[in-house]
């Protein structure tokens, strides 16, 4: 995963280094978004709407991390979910679960 991020950062840097025109903040934000999408696609997880999370996962999250909230959710072909979670104390973590709400080590 670290190698993927490094490649994405290097690609972003290369694209901006050879730009002929002045790079605006909007263009930089667009490049960062494209790089983030490329990283997501490489790890096999695609973003899903929070409303699409199975109830078993939301119940498991509340039981394991009371007061935590899901910022983003992703799903792969095996119906495994990657969750970007903000805990009650403000700590941000990535958690993985299957559709039945069982936590996974990835």
The fold of 46-104 is Nuclear Transport Factor 2; Chain: A, (3.10.450)
Q: How confident is the model at residue 26 (pLDDT cuts 50, 70, 90)?
A: confident
Chain segment 44-80, per-residue pLDDT in tens:
899 999 999 999 999 999 999 999 999 999 999 999 9
Q: Could you give the percent of the chain with pLDDT greater than 90?
A: 57
Across 1-106, the runs of DSSP E, i.e. the strands, are 46-48, 69-75, 80-86, 92-98, 103-104
pLDDT higher than 70, residue 43 = yes
Domain parsing of the chain, residue ranges: 2-42, 46-104
Measure the CA dihedral 69/84/56/44, to 10°: 160
């Amino acid at each position: 995963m670290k190698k993927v991020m490094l490649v994405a950062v290097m690609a972003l840097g290369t694209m901006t280094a050879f730009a002929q025109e002045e790079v605006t903040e909007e263009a930089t934000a667009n490049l960062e978004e494209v790089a983030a999408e490329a990283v997501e696609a490489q790890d096999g997880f695609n973003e899903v709407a929070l409303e699409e999370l199975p109830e078993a996962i939301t119940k498991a999250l509340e039981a394991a991390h009371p007061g935590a909230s899901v910022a983003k959710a992703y799903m792969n072909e095996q119906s495994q979910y990657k969750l970007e979670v903000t805990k009650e104390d403000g700590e941000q973590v990535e958690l993985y679960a299957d559709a039945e709400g069982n936590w996974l080590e990835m």
